Amino acid sequence: MPTDLESRELVAQACRVLGSMNLTKAATGHISCLADDGKRIFIRGRGRAEVGVRFTTVEQVITVDLDGNKIDGPDGIAVPIEVYIHTRLYRARSDVRSVVHVHPSTVVLFTICGKDIAPLYGAYDPSSLDLILDGIPTYDRSVLIDDEQLGDDLAAALGSKRVCLMRGHGITSVGASVEDAAIRAIQLNEAAEMNYQAHLLGQPRTIPEEDLKLFLEKKRQKDASGGSPRQAAAWRYYVELSKG
């Protein structure tokens, strides 16, 4: 079991990774994870002492209860206005241990135009294809999630899925770990960028039906065998990249 400090360091590291990959604008966005006691979360705070997501330090990751009240952290760092994205999702989903909320501009363009992110590639990035085939819901409002009701509405839009688009706003991804939730955000962003470029280049073709079928069959076998060393390797790579 990770200590509180290790969990906060991991949240800060994930902020730096997503920030360095331009998945969010300047200081907007936050990542959280659930403490082992299931009663507190560690979340990137906002306020006068903060720096951008890309430069998040462990001191900026504060402790908050599941009602969104600050329990611990420096004076200059406050609870994010949209803390309810996190607290209401943890209450709604017992499988979720980490929540990522960022504003990636290319994904937001798809919500603005009401275009789907289509399955355009397979072996290029199979787990990204998996994410798309699982279905990506959209929360169709463009408001800040600044109260419990709106948090519950977002949780309902996400349902049992792993990522949710937020119209004219950003994305929220969830996972069984910080790495899990962060990598899903990265994959969603890459899929959107690829779709966008494909539309610029010409008429994108979704991959053949028979390939999709085969992919799903093989995935079922792999899921049964469990574990993902590829995800761990990808995370190590992104962490190194963020140090550059």
What amino acid positions are annotated as catalytic residues? 82
Interface residues for Zn ion in 156-175 (CB under 5 A)?
170
Cβ proximity to Zn ion: between 82 and 235 the closer is 82
Q: Of 125, 138, 145, give the one whose Cα is nearest residue 186.
A: 125
What lies within 8 Å, CB to CB, of 147 at 6+ separation is 84
Chain-centre distance for alpha carbon 33: 11
Instruction: Give the x-and-dash track for 174-193 against Zn ion (CB under 5 A).
Output: --------------------
Least CB distance from residue 182 to Zn ion, whole Å? 16
Least CB distance from residue 74 to Zn ion, whole Å? 22
Least CB distance from residue 24 to Zn ion, whole Å? 9
C-beta of residue 4 within 8 angstroms of C-beta of residue 42: yes
C-beta of residue 82 within 8 angstroms of C-beta of residue 101: yes
157: enclosing H helix or E strand = helix 148-158
Cβ proximity to Zn ion: between 19 and 170 the closer is 170
C-beta of residue 151 within 8 angstroms of C-beta of residue 88: yes
Cβ proximity to Zn ion: between 119 and 170 the closer is 170
Least CB distance from residue 42 to Zn ion, whole Å? 18
Cβ proximity to Zn ion: between 141 and 161 the closer is 141
Q: Which residues bind Zn ion (CB under 5 A)?
A: 170
